[in-house]
């Protein structure tokens, strides 16, 4: 297919076997990721019935939870931060990656750490912290992020799990658009 003389996609040879190795190679080439299909499933355009999966090349970042938001009775997102120069700096929200299998443990951990006031020392985006249920700064999560914004907020952060082996004070930002705290 072509649009304005440019290819929209290309067919490539099948690669069965080492999917992790293929993803690593794609990430090393600075590609967005890979798309896979169950080998026994027939190809049918537009079919999103679970036979296709996407694996994205995204860096992982540990973050300290500052609170969570609800929409009615449903969980919505986490407000997250990191320590910079001994201060808790708000670095955005994590709004995806929450599943039926991981949400109960997360909610139990959040409710066991509830606090009355914001734990943040520095807030880059005060509007995003409206209607937050605050928590003590002891809970660490791991998230995949697409990048950092120019305001040092995580972009397209996806929850990957709790890091019960990690102390909150040890969480530092591994990369950012500009030095945090400036």
Same domain, 52 and 65: no
Q: What is the pTM of this model?
A: 0.69
Is 149's pLDDT higher than 80? yes
Same domain, 22 and 108: no
Same domain, 112 and 39: no
- What are the two backbone dihedrals, phi and then psi, of residue 3, each rounded to the nearest 5 degrees? -135, 120
Same domain, 46 and 90: no
In the structure encoding, which two tokens stand for residue 19, read together? 């999917």
Query: For 41-63, what is each residue's pLDDT tens digit?
Result: 877 776 666 777 777 777 788 99
Residue 158 CB contacts under 8 Å (≥ 6 apart), including other chains: 58, 94, 96, 97, 143, 144, 145
Same domain, 52 and 64: no
Q: Is residue 95 part of a domain?
A: yes
Residue 124 CB contacts under 8 Å (≥ 6 apart), including other chains: 89, 90, 91, 92, 151, 152, 153
Query: For 60-107, what is each residue's pLDDT tens digit?
Result: 889 999 999 999 889 999 999 888 777 888 888 999 999 989 999 999
Same domain, 44 and 131: no
Question: Of the residues 16, 41, 56, which one is the last residue of a structural domain?
Answer: 56
Full domain range(s) for residue 78? 60-170
With beta carbons less than 8 A apart as the criterion, state whether 70 and 95 touch.
no
- What are the two backbone dihedrals, phi and then psi, of residue 76, each rounded to the nearest 5 degrees? -115, -55
CA 160 centroid distance within chain: 7
Task: Please tell me the predicted confidence (pLDDT) of residue 122.
Answer: 72
Give the least confident one: 16-20, 43-47, 108-112: 43-47
Question: Of the residues 56, 81, 97, which one is the last residue of a structural domain?
Answer: 56
Q: How many domains does the chain have?
A: 2
Task: Please tell me the predicted confidence (pLDDT) of residue 112.
Answer: 93
């Amino acid at each position: 297919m072509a649009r304005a003389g440019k290819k929209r996609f290309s067919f490539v040879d099948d690669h069965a076997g080492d999917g992790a190795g293929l993803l690593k190679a794609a990430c090393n080439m600075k590609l967005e990721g890979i798309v896979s299909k169950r080998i026994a499933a027939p190809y049918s355009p537009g079919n999103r019935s679970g036979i296709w999966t996407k694996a994205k090349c995204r860096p992982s970042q540990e973050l300290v939870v500052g609170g969570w938001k609800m929409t009615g009775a449903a969980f919505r997102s986490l407000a997250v931060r990191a320590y910079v120069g001994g201060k808790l700096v708000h670095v955005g929200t994590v709004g995806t990656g929450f599943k039926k299998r991981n949400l109960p443990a997360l909610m139990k951990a959040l409710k066991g750490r509830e606090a009355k006031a914001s734990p943040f020392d520095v807030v880059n985006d005060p509007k995003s912290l409206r209607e937050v249920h605050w928590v003590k700064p002891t809970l660490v999560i791991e998230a995949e992020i697409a990048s950092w914004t120019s305001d040092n907020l995580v972009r397209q952060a996806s929850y990957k799990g709790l890091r019960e082996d990690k102390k909150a004070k040890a969480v530092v930002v591994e990369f950012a658009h500009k030095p945090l705290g400036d």
